Amino acid sequence: MIKKFGIFILTQNTIERKIYLKTTLYFLFKNYNKDYKYPIYILHEGDYDDKNQQEEIITSIRGDCKSTINFLKLDEEDFKIPDHIDKNKLGLSVKLHPTPYWRNERYRMMCRWWLVHFPKYTKGFEYVMRLDDDAIIEEPINQNFIEIMDNKQYIYLSNFIHIDCGLCCYKMKETFEKLLPDKIDKIKDFFIEKKLDDNNEIFHKFKILIEEIEGIPYDKKYIDLKMPLMFYNNFFITKTSFWDREDVKRIINEIDKQGNIFYYRYGDAPLQSLIVSILEKEKISRVVFKYSKRLQRESFIDNDGKFYQYMPDNYNNTSCISDK
C-alpha cells in the first residue's frame, strides 16, 4: 500500500543538533502537523539507534503527536566519498576556501546524499516533504500541502527563491546544456551572468582550483559566473514518481559521475531546482509562509575565525519570507 505523505528530517545526534531538532519539531507541530499528524522520519547514521536517545526526542513531543515520530537508519555507504572522486582535488578545493560558505567534505557528502540517495528512502510514498533540522516554521500554515499538490497536479512545491553563488555553481550551466541539448533555450532562463575579474582576491584562489580540476592553464583575466535561480530546498514537497523517471535518474547519475558536487561544491538545492524547473516548469510552485534557517537567525564563524551573518536588520522580518 502506498503511503500518501511523509515528512523527512536528516540529523545527527550531537548536543547542538538535538537542540535544533527539538525546536524544529516543536514549531512543525505547533504551526502545521498537529492538525494532520503526518508521519515524521528522523534520518540518522546509526547515532539514534539507542532507544533512550530516541525517547529523548519522542517525549519532547506533546500528546498523541508522539506516535508520528519514526527513526530511520541510513545505509552505511551513503556518507562515504565515492571511489570516482579524486581525493587530492577534493582536498585542495576544501583548503582553498574561496568563500565563507565553501564548507567541508562532510557538507559535500550531504549535498550528494539529498540528490543521489534520498529517493531510495521515499519509496512507498506518493509525496514527501523535506525539512532541515534547523529550519523553523515561524507562523501557522492554514493550507494542506497535499491538497495543493493533488489539486494542481504539482510535482514540486517550495517557498523561498534565491540566486545561488556563481563560484559554487561553476560550469553548472554548461553541464545542463550538455545533458539536455534540446532544452538550451530553457536553461538560459534560469541563470544570471556576471564576471569576476582579476582585481578580486577570490579570483586568484579560484583560478588555482580551476587549473587543478581541469588540468589546463587558465589564461583569462576574469571568470564567467553563471548564477542559477533556485529554491531554498531546506523545505520542499515533491512527488516521488518524478525522481523515479529514467530521464531524471540519468541526469542525476551523470552529475554525480562528473564530481563537481565535491570539486566546485555544487549544492543539492540548485541542482534539484534546475532539474524540476527545466523538465517540468509548469508543475512546480511556491507556498507562502514565514520560515527561517539557522543562518537567518545566528551568525557563524568561518575557518579563519571571522564572523558572518545573513540576518535581516530587525525582528519584523526573516530572510526567508516569501513574497506572493
Query: Scanning the structure block, which residue is given the C-alpha cell 560550469?
Result: 171
Phi-psi region at 284: left, alpha or beta (left = phi > 0; alpha = psi -120 to 50): beta
Amino acid 313: pLDDT: 75
pLDDT for the residue 318: 63
Predicted TM-score (pTM) of the model is: 0.93
pLDDT per residue rounded down to tens, the chain (324 residues): 678 999 999 999 999 999 999 999 999 999 999 999 999 999 999 999 999 999 999 999 999 999 999 999 999 999 999 999 999 999 999 999 998 889 999 999 999 999 999 999 999 999 999 999 999 999 999 999 999 999 999 999 999 889 999 999 999 999 999 999 999 999 999 999 999 999 999 999 999 999 999 999 999 999 999 999 999 999 999 999 999 999 999 999 999 999 999 999 999 999 999 999 999 999 999 998 988 877 677 777 766 777 877 667 777 766 555 444
Let me know if 284 is exposed, middle or buried by CB neighbors in 10 A (0-12, 13-18, 19+).
buried
Q: Which three cell numbers stand for residue 197?
A: 575579474
Q: State the Cα angle at 74 between 11 and 46, rounded to 5°.
A: 70
pLDDT at 92: 96
Q: How much is the pLDDT for 101?
A: 85
Map out the domains of the chain with their CATH numbers. 3-308 (3.90.550.10)
- E-assigned strands of 30-116? 40-44, 69-73
